[in-house]
Structure 1
Amino acid sequence: MRYTTEAHIIAKQYLEQYAKHFGDDQPDVPEIHLPSCLTKKLVFKDYSLHCITNHHKAIKRTRFLQIWRMEFPNVKVRKHQKMTQCTECAVFKEAFLKKLSQDEFKKLEVRRKAHLTLQRIAREKYYKHRTKSQENPQQYLSLIIDNMDQSKTNLPRFPFVSKADNSLTKLHHHVTGVLCHSLQKAYAFTWTDQFASNCNVTLNCLMTVLDDVAKNNGGSLPPTLYLQADNAAKDNKNNYVLMFLAMLVKAEIVKKIKLSFLMVGHTHEDVDQFFSRISVKCHQQAAVTLPDLHQLISTSVKPMPYIQHINSLWDFRKLATSDYSLCDFKDIHHFVFRKADDKVTLKFKNWPLHSEPYRELDVTNAIPDLDVPSIVEGIQPEEVFRFAHGTHIQTILSIAGSRFVS
């Protein structure tokens, strides 16, 4: 019997933490992809340096790669990234392929490590917020919200695609996912092109989740809300969302909100694991109609997620419209809203670094009053389909239905 050595355990722990801090969970497959600027050779080099720094005995490269292969087969270093990759990582990857002098290589290594360290710090801040909400749900509420790739949920879809299926015009069905770490609960909201893809969807989903959390918390919310969102301007990172969050603080629905964004190209997190389970189910079973899709989502993860189809939207975007424009926040990844002495302040900085000071704005007078919003006027579903595809919705349903006629 071969006993596991201390060096083996350390190498295994190192790979596990490396994947956690630098890897991105994929939304379509149950895999974790490391940044494109890395190779297995560079990962082993980082491990060797870690062992030297911490006075650990390092195992040989062949043994290290064997542990990787056996223990972490889902952790990949892809030559070609399927998802949008980080620009800096792509530059590093291209540079490492060139013939470099020893001095040039060292300088590039320093820049690469600084870049990966920065994205790791941003990720660890999210993990910290998540843990705080799980350990103390009465004080902290942690949410992450994102949109799934719609190509996975267009209907109808079948596990085995025939040539005839390729000619079918499909109806777009979007899925917005939210994870509530305090309740350890997943939410899936489906919607169609009846509504524009903008922050109204985000804010309506957010308010539905907050309402559900309040019902599970005796009618009130924890005083601190941690909200993690994708770096998408039309959905999350815009003046409307910032003003709406400020409105929640001004109305004292919560006392403090932290809105955070991960580094572009390094944004895949636990909500993408949720999406990957849905995607796997989509490849395993047919979904012809919306109820089929809901059934598929309901069996994708345990416990069963909260599922809702959006038939109407409150126009929170219009409600949050203000003459005061918060501009130049493209590079900002950390926002904090807080109310004290009837004054609402917005603090922000590029990254959640202790060394970087907050900049602060008094936004009290710029915040609109929280009121009952109007309803978004959406296009009728049949009109959406006819306008987008030139085919009536009943046609596609009849074709799809014929697949199941014996």
Structure 2
Amino acid sequence: MIFDPVDGLSSDEAGPEGEAKPPPQTRRRRIRRRKEQKEDDRSFQKLVQDPNVPSTKLSKPCGCKQKTCANQFLAEPKFQEYRDYLAHWLSLAKLDQDQIAFDLMKELVIRSGDDFLTCWTLLGLQTCRRTWQTLHCMGSRRFEKLWRAARDRRDAPPVDLRYLSQPHARIGTDSSQVRSDICSFLELIYESVAETLPDFRDELGGSTGVSINLEDPYAVELESNTKKRSAEELLETVDLRPKAKPRKYKGQVQINLSRTSSTIEERWLPPGSMKEYHEQYRMHSALEKPGSFPTFWRVWLSDFGFMQIRGTSQHAQCGTCVRHRHLIKSLGRHLLARSQQQTFYWQHLREQYLDRLEYYRLRSLSRQRDGRFICIIQDGMDQGKVSLPRSPWLQSKEFAQFKIHRPKLHVSLTLVHGYFTLWTISHPDTMKDSNASIETMCHALHLLESEHGVCLRGCSLSIHADNTCREVKNNPFMRWAALQTSCSNLKSVSVRFLRSGHSHEDVDQAFGRLARHLSRLKVAQEPDDFLDSIKQFASGMGRPHEAHSYVTIMAQTRDWKGFHAGAVPFHVAGIGGPGAPHEFTFNRRSDEDLQGHAVDSSSWGWPEHPGDVILRIAWQHGWIKSTIIIISMIIRTVLYKRTDVRVHFWVG
């Protein structure tokens, strides 16, 4: 009788617990291979230190048909060239070696297609795959993982858990000084760069046009470990399983229970890699020997598991950040140039952090509700979230083109800190320009005076908006601000523009929550359906400082642009584009102490007028420093000859 082979487990192979151990000769063979590998590594170290010591690896035959791939590097001048190459290779960090090898493998996959065995080259000489691996001092397991990731067209080399793990004998031996230094840096990143806004994609909404996918394997491993530990803590809390006696040597990273996501607000970093933040830490650290990447990873996992790196994002990223990251990644083999780019990148992050600190200061002053200072931030929501009509039937293939070209509503939020939130919905045919921005701002000021009893004549207004010329950063809005100051409707008006691509926190977080709320709205045929849904959301936002909320539809706007062009005929040149100013402050001349400054309207033959307005312009972020510099450095003054309103320019 002939029996077909059955793919099953024998009695000796009952499963993972009863798996048969390898025979003794196999174990001895493995031990011998490990010893040979260590001896070869030591021979490579000697080869770098002393060129007269022969390398046994170069003289051994390889596993290919030629068996002479490594012998090519024994003759001069290739021997000296390879010796210099190996010295540079061994001087690189582990992550740099993985990144360079991974990039070379990806180039090999793209260049050679399916013929992978004959295209391995090193220093211009063709080698086999095994020789290439050996001459780079790489283990077979790590080489296979890198090669598999390159063939799968991944974006980054896979995580090496052996590199991150700590030996049992050294568990808990990390220096307290190094750990505190890493914690200080991560705390700074948490407060300055991390965002609280959720990233949610609505299936029934339109496409946002922005999709970023930069998953970092080390960040993914960090997130999976954090979720695993959180699940274990939850099981122990509700006591759903019997508690076993803890093992003495676990070989794991211990979680600091006082710094978990249940006690501290969870935040996310923009798409990137942990290697970038480790390089920033090394540049920022004042220690003579900063912490290594494994220590950095373990401290992040144990103390900052509530701060994660986004793998994908639907939000547009800052152009300066993207440029610096791309240059840093492209300069992987140039350590000095990469270090300089890291310095520029850190300066950029530091500047945007100073912007946030100034915004926090102004926001806190407005929340005091003393009537002397008002802080307002205004921004618009992504139009893809509010497309009309909205129905599950649009998921059909027949509506694919219609779904893309559906009319989109304009939803904007005007957040008056300490008082209320104003949601404005405008029709698709309503222009989202300076007229709409001025209309919304006037309505917010009207609500402040009529509903909340704020006397605006003695109030200083600070407006924060996007750094774009379409809505606020334009001359019509500047004319409106100058006219409000000149007519004593407001004591002073400051218009500040935040960096594009960085989170505006309050409004962006509100937009993220609103997008999640609108995803529950399955059917919407007209703007009133969105109006009712947004009213329901605004009533339950849960903002203690802004308890009141208003939601309105703006069907049309007044011609503010034409009105202010005739009433306040001044023009600020260079208001947009690269190198444009970022702060505009309007004050009445009668309220300023101009003693010692060459600002005198008598030189033009016009007497001083109570409606004269002084405009200060700042080119740099960090408002306090810029204002002091501009006051002390007056280059020119310009007087516009009108009997009712005249604007003096202070340009510095």
Partner of 1:297: 534
Seen in structure 2, the aligned counterparts of structure 1 residues 237 and 32 have a Cα distance that, compared at 3 Å, is farther
Report Cα offsets for 1:313-353 as digits up to 9, x if no partner. Answer: 22222222154211112221111110132221110111244
Distance 1:294 1:64, change over 3 A: farther
Task: Give the aligned length.
Answer: 361
How much does 1:25 deviate? 5.6
Cross-structure match for 1:334: 583
Structure 1 position 196 matched with structure 2 position 445: no
Conservation of the 8 A alpha-carbon contact between 1:191 and 1:311: yes
What is the DSSP-based 3-state SS (H/G/I as helix, E as strand, rest coil) of the residue aligned with 2:562?
helix
Question: Displacement of 1:246 after TM fit?
Answer: 0.6
- The equivalent residue for 1:309 is 553
Q: Which residue in 2 is equivalent to 1:207?
A: 442
In 1: Cα distance, 2:198 partner to 2:422 partner = 15
Give the percent of matched residue pairs that are identical in Structure 1 and Structure 2: 19
Give deviations 1:93-115, integer Å, cap 9, x for gaps: 12122234332222112111112
How far apart are 1:9 and its partner, in Å? Answer: 8.9
Residue type of the alignment partner of 2:433: N
The one of 263, 268, 277 equivalent to 1:43 is: 277
Residue 571 of structure 2 aligns with which residue? Answer: 325
2-structure distance, mates of 1:363, 1:186: 38
TM-score of the pair, normalised by structure 1: 0.77
SS of 1:299's partner is helix
2:318 to 76, 79, 86: 86
**C-alpha deviation, 1:247, in angstroms:** 0.6
Check whether the contact 1:39–1:77 (CA below 8 A) recurs between aligned residues: no
Work out which of the two has the higher radius of gyration on C-alpha atoms and give 1 or 2: 2
What's the CA shift for 1:366? 6.6
Report what 2:192 is aligned to.
Answer: 21
Q: Distance between the aligned counterparts of 1:368 and 1:158, measured in 2? A: 55
Residues 35 and 84 (structure 1), Cα distance of their counterparts in 2 relative to 1, 3 Å cut: same
Distance in 1 separating the partners of 2:280 and 2:355: 20
- Structure 1 position 176, deviation (Å): 1.2
Distance 1:363 1:77 in 2: 51
Unpaired runs of at least 5, structure 1: 370-406
Determine which of 323, 328, 347 is the counterpart of 2:616. Answer: 347
**1:27 and 1:276 in contact (8 A); partners too:** yes
Q: Distance in 1 between matches of 2:438 and 2:274?
A: 41
Residue-by-residue CA offset, 1:358-392 (whole Å, 9 max, x unaligned): 267566657987xxxxxxxxxxxxxxxxxxxxxxx
Deviation of the 1:23 alpha carbon: 3.8
User: What is aligned with 1:71?
Assistant: 306
Residue type of the alignment partner of 2:489: I
Counterpart AA for 1:293: F
2:444 paired with 1:218: no
The answer to whether 1:234 aligns with 2:470 is yes
Match of 1:384 in 2: none
Whether contact under 8 Å (2:267, 2:307) holds in the other structure is no
Structure 2: distance between partners of 1:149 and 1:363: 41
| Deviation (angstroms), 1:210 | 0.7
Please state if 1:142 is matched with 2:375: yes
**RMSD between aligned alpha carbons?**
3.5
- Give matches, 1:158-197, under 5 Å: 158=391, 162-163=395-396, 166=400, 167=402, 170-183=406-419, 185-197=420-432
1:270 matched to 2:485: no
1:390 is aligned to none
Q: How far apart, CA to CA, are the structure 2 residues paired with 1:243 and 1:367?
A: 16
1:257-292 alpha-carbon deviations (Å, 9 max, x no partner): 111111232253311111111111121222413222
Counterparts of 1:10 and 1:52 in 2: how far apart (Å)? 8
Aligned partners of 2:485 and 2:587 also within 8 Å: yes
**What's the TM-score once normalised by structure 2's chain length?**
0.50
Among candidates 510, 521, 537, match of residue 285 of structure 1: 521
Structure 1 position 27, deviation (Å): 7.4
Q: Which amino acid counterpart does residue 329 of structure 1 have in structure 2?
A: I
SS at match of 1:138: coil
The alpha-carbon distance between structure 1 residues 286 and 348, as it changes in their structure 2 partners (threshold 3 A), is: same
Choose which of 473, 487, 490 in structure 2 pairs with 1:251. 487
* SS of aligned partner of 1:206: helix
Partner of 1:66, secondary structure, is helix
C-alpha distance in 2, partners of 1:255/1:282? 39
**Do the aligned partners of 1:344 and 1:362 also contact (CA within 8 Å) in 2?**
no
Normalized per residue, the structure richer in strand is: 1
Partner residue in 1 for 2:345? 112
CA–CA separation in structure 1 for the residues paired with 2:444 and 2:573 = 28
Distance in 1 (alpha carbons) for counterparts of 2:388 and 2:329: 42
Letter in 1 for 2:324: F
Q: For residues 33-56 of structure 1, what are the alpha-carbon distances to aligned partners after superposition, in whole Å with 9 as ceiling and x for unaligned?
A: 6456x5322324444666646x99
Q: Which runs of 5+ in 2 are unaligned?
A: 1-175, 202-265, 591-609, 646-652
Which protein has greater RCO, CA pairs closer than 8 Å, 6+ apart?
Answer: 1
